[in-house]
Amino acid sequence: MARLRLFGQAREAACTARDEVPGDCVAEVVAAATHRYGDDFARLAAICRVWVNGEEALPTTAVGADDEVALLPPVSGG
Q: How far apart are CA 23 and CA 75, in angstroms?
A: 27
pLDDT on residue 16:
97
> Does some domain include residue 31?
yes
For residue 52, tell me if it sits in a domain. Answer: yes
More confident residue, 77 or 65: 65
Whether the pTM exceeds 0.95: the reply is no
What pLDDT was estimated at residue 47?
Answer: 95
Q: Is 78 a member of any domain?
A: no
Rounded Cα gap, residues 21 and 50, in angstroms: 14
Average confidence score pLDDT of the chain: 94
- Structural domain range at position 8: 2-72
Domain assignment present for 77: no
Q: What is the pLDDT of residue 75?
A: 79
Domain harbouring 20, CATH code = 3.10.20.30
| Mean predicted confidence (pLDDT) in 55-67 | 96
Q: Where are the alpha helices (DSSP H) in 1-78?
A: 8-14, 26-37, 39-45
- Total tally of structural domains belonging to the chain: 1
